[in-house]
Amino acid sequence: MSHSIDKDLLREALEQAHERFCTDTAGKNADYIPYLASVPSSLFGIAATLPDGDTLTVGDCDYSFGIESVSKVPTALLAMNQHSAEAVLDKIGADATGLPFNSIMAILLENDHPSTPLVNAGAISACSMILPTGSAEGKWNAIRNFIEELCGSKVEVIEELYHSESATNFNNRSIAWLLRNYERIYDDPELSLDLYTRQCSLGITARQMAVMAATIAFGGVNPLTRREVFKSNLTPRITSMMATVGFYEHTGDWLFSTGLPAKSGVGGGIMAVVPGRIGIAAFAPPLDSSGNSSKAQKALGFIAQRLNLNIFNAIDH
Ligand code: GLU
């Protein structure tokens, strides 16, 4: 049974996926964050990184878009790397709430037991766990450096997005203070919220996101830089979280259809991790009704099927 992916087949699958879905007009840009509504809707890129660090791309893979909720993955990993997987399980948890990603109701209902760092409440809580406690600058440097190590290149905040999001994030502000009420936030709520908002506003390209996915897929070793970024035993921890809740309320349907642990963000990016085999990212701004990029999910589903990437498949790859 061979697990390695043939480069020519991969290139063909990426090109076919792009060609097949580039004219798809389903969905619309997120508009509850004003900046996101203004991103050109026709952008569409797919990138995939292999164990040798080679990244194949098609379409708009060098356009820097808002990472948004995909940033929840590196911060959860960093919290586990700095503390331990058990500490994150204990303080935040790893369960889907079954409710929307920004649900206040979920916190009210589950105040006695935690949820997951891949929804807003858990992500703000994960930001609060990042060391050094109490230092906005120190924590931000830790998060940004970690993302840069995962990508193997520099990332910058999209200032306009950060301001747009900071000026409209009233729901997230309520979440941060509600967490405080239930003692589920482990640093200053305003500081933790600002870190979360800032990490969501980071610009990232599909090419960078594919390398990040690959670093996660290959046990924390960046295939581009060959640097060890996090402890290898955390790959199954983070991919199981992605599989559980990465696609908002449609995670079960997505996993059932593709067998691909993935995390999407309202900026239009989706990052998929196939442990030991490949990291793939797709980006297109228009979203479906639950907040997942319409074209990106179709492209990833197509590629997963073409290359037999379903992680639950026991027979011949
Ligand atoms: N910053 C966005 C929010 O908190 C991220 C949402 C997302 O991508 O799911 O609403």
C-alpha 168 to ligand 1 mean position (Å):
11
Output the CA–CA distances (angstroms, integers) from residue 154 to 113, 146, 150, 151, 279, in the order listed: 37, 10, 10, 8, 19
7-306: CATH, from 3.30.360.10, 3.40.710.10, 3.20.20.70, 3.40.190.10: 3.40.710.10
Q: Is the beta carbon of 246 within 6 A of some atom in ligand 1?
A: no
Ligand 1 atom 6: residue of nearest CA: 69
Ligand 1 atom 4: residue of nearest CA: 120
Does the beta carbon of 120 sit less than 6 angstroms from any atom of ligand 1? yes
User: How far is residue 224's CA from residue 215's CA, in Å, rounded to a whole number?
Assistant: 9
> What is the atom index within ligand 1 of the atom nearest the CA of 291?
9
Pair 20, 301: CB distance under 8 Å: no
C-beta of 291 in contact with ligand 1 (< 6 A): yes
Per-residue pLDDT of the chain (317 residues; tens, 9 = 90+): 447 899 999 999 999 999 999 999 999 999 989 999 999 999 999 999 999 999 999 999 999 999 999 999 999 999 999 999 999 999 999 998 888 888 888 888 877 666 899 999 999 999 999 999 999 999 999 999 999 999 999 999 999 999 999 999 999 999 999 999 999 999 999 999 999 999 999 999 999 999 999 999 999 999 999 999 999 999 999 999 999 999 988 999 999 999 999 999 999 999 999 999 999 999 999 999 989 999 999 999 999 999 999 999 977 55
Residues 6+ apart with CB under 8 A from 246: 118, 254, 261, 262, 263, 264
What would the DSSP string read from start to end of 185-243? Answer: --S-HHHHHHHHHHHHTEEE-HHHHHHHHHHHHTTTB-TTT--B-S-GGGHHHHHHHHH
> Is residue 220 within 6 Å of ligand 1 at its C-beta?
no
